[in-house]
Structure 1
Amino acid sequence: MNIRPKFNRNDARILGCWLLLGLLSGCGAPLMPGPTPASGEIVVLWHGFTDARQEALLALGDRFNAERPAGITLVIEYHADLPALLPTTSPDQRPDLVIAMPNEVPGYAAQGLTALAPADIPADLLPMGRALFTVKGTLQALPLGLATYVLYTNDNWLRDIGYTPATAVLEDLRLSTCRATDLASGQVGLGLPSQPGVLLALLAAGEASLIGEDGYYHFDDPAGTRLSAIIKEGMRAACIRTFALPAEGVTQFSDSAMAMLIESSLNRREIEAAVAAKSNFTLGVTRLPGPTGPGAMLWYGVGIFATQTAEPQHPAAGVVLDWLLQAEAQALWTAKTQYLPVRAGGIAAQLAALPAEANIERALLELTREVAANGAWTVWPPQAYGATCRAALVQVLTALNTELPAHEALQEAVAGCNRELTP
């Protein structure tokens, strides 16, 4: 792969002019002289997305370059396998900004590639976003978008069986999943996608210890065992159903064949649209239940950091970081990716702009604000992104529907995940 050397100031002025001329000229029209940008700064951002997030980044880049804060031009580039590529670049080849997942940031930080300045950190950054990208006590990247797992509910159905999602505890979930189940008509109480995040979210809500102070997994503790026993009981009674493809769960839920569905907040619009198309029940969204009330929410997301380059980080990268985390940019990012805002101000702005009928979006924003304030949250451990651990977590959901005792299923997963951490 050819890696373009990082722009210097003269390169920036020249490219800035050409970019502006390109915007001003039509196809085949003669190029007309245009003004040089006020500062002539170029900020280069690398990402590894090939999905809707790439489209969203390009849309953000277009808007930034239309506004051109401080005369800066933002250049957005795709590069595959950034965790392998970035460490091989020399300081003068590196981009100014890099998009990263939480599990990638510790490696970048260990190699001295991150350079987040204190001035770049917003005062109202949500605590779960901060925790996702903190390495050994230091914030190494800024969150760009957040996501969590929630319980989507058929409120009409749950009202009929006396289940109140906003105040329910795990025991209520245990009883209500089977109250809602009617095998003769193909109806089931709860649906679980066979995904690692679903099990982690259940364990977090059930107050299991995902990662101990020693850095190893301990979710086979008493709280985790109690939670898995409840899920196992529901599965063995056919009151809880798992499925490999998320679309299967969405279809069954929207068809009123499932009373509750645990899914990511990133899928809320697909679920909302599917339910609206059938128009047969009121859709709700809430936190997963815990032992004594609504449980802690599991958060994950995507971040961005400034790099260590040949020269000290120039202020232009900080201008772009600040712009990306402003309310308007966050609203565009949310609209195109379904990530939730990362700042308290962004939540307030999006709540104020919502139409009256946007009940699910409003509920999710309010849940985000609520748990940020009361501390009822945890983050997806960076260690749990490994392929071995993810497979072990999915295997638990399969094993709970067998004769294997619940605590043994958890112990096997803990052992598998911890083997991945052992040098």
Structure 2
Amino acid sequence: MKQSIKSPIIMTVVAALSIWIYLITPDAVTMIASTTATDLVALPEISVPTKLLGLVAAIVQLALAGYGWFMRNVKNGKLGRWAIVLFGLAFVIQVLVLLFAGKSMPITSLLQGSLALAVPLIFGSLAGVLSERVGVVNIAIDSQLLIGAFSSALIASLSDNLYLGLVAAIIGGALVSWVLAVFSVRYVVDQIIVGVVLNVLVVGLTNFLYSSLLTTDIQLFNAPPRFDKILIPVLGQIPVIGPVLFNQTLIVYLMYLAVIGVYVALFKTRWGLRVRAVGEYPKAADTVGIKVFRTRYISVIIGGALAGLGGSFFTLGQVGAFGKEMTNGAGYIALAALIFGRWNPIYAAMAALLFGFAQNLQYGLAIIGSPVPSEFLLMLPYALTVVAVAGLVGKVTGPAAAGKAYVKA
């Protein structure tokens, strides 16, 4: 299959941009610090000549852009995904070198903060995968995250029990997704409209309860305990990787299991085959005996439960209290990560990590006093999403029946 012309064009434009970035990169030295107190081996700081590293990154991008044209025009083939990933990695490294030129780059803390910001996004993207793979567009991810944050804070505060807070978050997210499924599947209401209404409804409801209930006695209603980090021996002491992945709270470890579990369930089980069949061609699935309505209900509700669990991370894993609209539109970012990840749980999680990294980068740059406006950094993941949809990672199309109500004949 011949490669689309979009990919080499976009790569050429970005490669040209990388040359300009190299030209404005100062001739300085960047210190990369990675050691934490729990590491088995203390790694020394690495001195990196920013100008040289920027040049190498620019050359790699130019070479890959040329390779893209070669594969299309000479080989009549398709550009490998490895080339696109390497191209993106080279560009990110070049931008980081420019931003931290002459400064110290705390790579471990940057990655830790990125993962923390990505946890709700990953849970939200999993909810979107389970919903849209079965044919229901889930615009209500933000409301499921928000109700999970509210429910976990309230119940954990009243019971002084973190695990009851988790259960409440799961139930809250499942209830919101159940409402979405009822109106979308049974009453054939437009799925986009239902999702938007649920988002507005849950924002209004949680704001009202926050003002009328939670603030009346903060210690009783809005002072939940928080999960402590659990250090996994040996794994958690590996430099860089250990502190980032294996010195986390219970919710983060549940997130790892959720990503693996959803992937296996969707692509390695009979149930997952039925889910994907319903999301692609529900009429054919119904013909062979698959219960379309029940399959959609179950998948959407499971997704909402996961989103509710992700919402609990705001209160039980980070802040330690509920605040008005504290998700700050995370559900919509999760939806973008879902599209970027091609409705695949693993790719969606990786896209969510990219969003989390871009969000956390602004805090790191603020600490070192970088003159780069933080607003530009917030634009980066959205710009990458637009580039991906434009064709850099190939044609992005969701399940064929997503957003289409099924009426049984």
TM-score by length of structure 2 reads: 0.26
More helix per residue: 2
Structure with the bigger RCO (C-alpha within 8 Å, sep 6+) is 2
More strand per residue: 1
TM-score by length of structure 1 reads: 0.26
